[in-house]
Structure 1
Amino acid sequence: MPATAYQTRFGSLQHYEKGHVEPIDDDVRHYAFSNCFEIANKSRPYEKVVFGQNQIYVLETLRAEGVSPWYTCAHDEFALVMDGEVEVHLVKLDAGQVVGDESRNGAVLVQGEPKGQKMGWMKLSRGHQGLLPKNTAYQFRTAGAPGVIVLQTCKGDLSVEKWADICQTH
């Protein structure tokens, strides 16, 4: 039996194909297509747009452009860079700025500048993933063209839902 040839195509902010749902015997309005590039292309810098959800866990797309605010979280998060190059700066927060309540989900803004021990920074490019440890302040920075980050986290106050914009209607 001959092998089937498949071609892998990687998207970017400059070049992506609109997502779609394969026809099945169901109502397509029950499904969202998760084209993180299209979502980031239409989003404000560092807007945390939810494009996948399983109970409290979400995937968020962020348009990485310029310098983000400082964020922290009571649980670990993971940042996967899908396009561009992003620096992630980390500060281990002093007790006064720690979220503390582990039942609080999602990232929150750090009030003022983060106080604590600088942990260094990561330079992530397409396909690289970084851990954003709990009770650590993090800030994203880009110097060149905008990029795309997929954040694996829990749904929180900063999570933006735009299901009407990303769900297929027909």
Structure 2
Amino acid sequence: MLAAAAAALRPVPLRRPGALLRAPVPRSLLDSRGAAPFPRRTASLKISQLQLTAARFSKESDSAEDDELLSELREKWDAMENKPSLLLYGGGAIFALWISFVVVRALDSVPLLPGLLELVGLGYSGWFVYRYLLFQENRKELANNFDALKKRITGDDE
């Protein structure tokens, strides 16, 4: 067994790249079927079993809970005073998310830009750690800033 492991760990000469493809596989991996990374499933699920499970799940779901949830959502929607601004903010958020996916896909085609953006992100992360997390008084300042922001958002005047 040790000989097989040693044979698998021997260096492959760089002059013959095809030798990498013919590198010996340790015998322990060939003999043990249970140690395979992706064991085969002997019993696969059939479509009828999936349909039966889905039908059983839909029968078990309580329609009273669904009605209660919908009624709560309707009450909150009716209680909302400024519905157009909510729709505008929601639509803007969905649009911004869509634009970010489009921009990221477009940036992948520019060769140096992803590396540059990663470098900017690493630089900002390093600055943030140095500015706010390294020293105790700076951590207290960050906690105070966070608490002030939380109070401004929630409207607590404690």
Greater RCO structure (CA 8 Å; 6+ sep):
1
TM-score category (smaller protein): under 0.3
TM-score, length of structure 1 as denominator length: 0.19
TM-score, length of structure 2 as denominator length: 0.20
Which is greater in Rg? 2
Between Structure 1 and Structure 2, the one with more helix by share is 2
Between Structure 1 and Structure 2, the one with more strand by share is 1
